[in-house]
Amino acid sequence: MNPSPDQDLSRLSVAQVRAWVAGRADEAALALLEADPRAGAQALARAVRRRLSRAQQERARLDGMLEVERRLRAQGAGHIAGVDEVGRGPLAGPVLAGAVVLPPAPDLPGLDDSKRMTPARREALFERIRGQAVAVGVGVVDSAEIDRLNILQATLKAMREAIAALAVTPDRVLIDGTQRPGSGLPELAFVDGDARSLSIAAASVIAKVTRDRMMADYDRLYPGYGFAEHKGYGSARHLRALRDLGPCPIHRRSFAPVGEGTPPFEGDGRKQVGRRGEEIAVALLAQKGYAILDRNFRGGGGEIDVIALRGEVIAFVEVKTDLAG
């Protein structure tokens, strides 16, 4: 039975009332419970009151995280992009940036700096952000490019690529940190942006979830390192694997301890270029939502460089890379 607000809950058992109120946090439910003198109903009323208080606090927190965006919209900005990066510190894998343009009044309870959330919460919010955002962009710079540019320049490049990948051109770009990527658009960088701007927090979730999924794919491609667990960071397990197995193609040779005493990859320059081209292709496929099923598959007298899956589509990819890079 589902009583309406004008009914007397005392005609229901406490168990029925508990089932009815489960998950609710509204003033109408609270008023009905508070009018019921039974101890069980009063306990439920206290629980609803706590849920209401938490919901109000969460609304106030999210409203505060839209203050920068409101101020910019009052100055005439329409599309405001938040940008954040992930993967500057790991010994392996790409550095990745996310860019998100949110509508003026998004409904994203629980959104915060991605580092403060559980993986399950990030995954859930990833889907909600993509469902509500005006535009989402991702930029990926692989380990070979990180070694060539340095991690700061690679990070700024990933940010520029994420902004360029947006389906709309932002009027303002909000950056987490102190470094501006130089996108050619009006940029505002500030420390702790992912805790102060909802747009940047959304970008941090997009970046983190996308990179985590890529590292899970790499874990299947390069077993033994534990990439799905530590995401390329220098955990004790990762350092042991580096000592025992040596670096794999996605390790950053410019990072200690990866580059300490490790020889170049086996094979001539042409093979190294081909391998790097495949790494770039895998990163692009992962960015577009493909799961990597296999690489360098041999059969039927030939070889397939990459086999990837998205939904019901299986892609068989041949990668061609110019020796000039």
Torsion of CA 147, 150, 156, 161, to 10 degrees: -20
172-176 and 80-86 as β-strands: parallel, antiparallel, unpaired? parallel
SS3 (DSSP) at 245? helix
> What's phi and psi for 99, nearest 5 deg?
-130, 130
Q: How many CB atoms lie within 10 A of CB 13?
A: 12
What region, left, alpha or beta, does residue 224 occupy, with left being phi > 0 and alpha being psi -120 to 50 degrees? left
6 annotated to a ligand binding site: no
Q: What is the largest CA-CA distance in the chain?
A: 82
Residue listed under structure tokens 């979830």: 209
Bin 281: left if φ > 0, else alpha if -120 < ψ < 50, else beta: alpha
Q: Please state whether beta strands 313-317 and 135-141 pair in parallel, antiparallel, or not at all (unpaired).
A: unpaired
- 201 C-beta neighbours (distance < 10 Å), count: 28
Alpha carbon distance 87, 99 (integer Å): 15
* Beta partners for residue 53, in sequence order: none
Classify the C-alpha dihedral 120-103-284-240 as positive or negative: negative
CA 54, distance to chain mean position in Å, is: 25
Q: Is 84 annotated as a binding residue?
A: yes
Backbone region of residue 150 per phi and psi (left: phi > 0; alpha: psi in -120 to 50; beta: other values): left
Is 194 annotated in a binding site? The answer is no
Place of tokens 């030939």: 302
Q: Which residues are annotated as a binding site for a divalent metal cation?
A: 84-85, 176
Q: Which residues are annotated as a binding site?
A: 84-85, 176
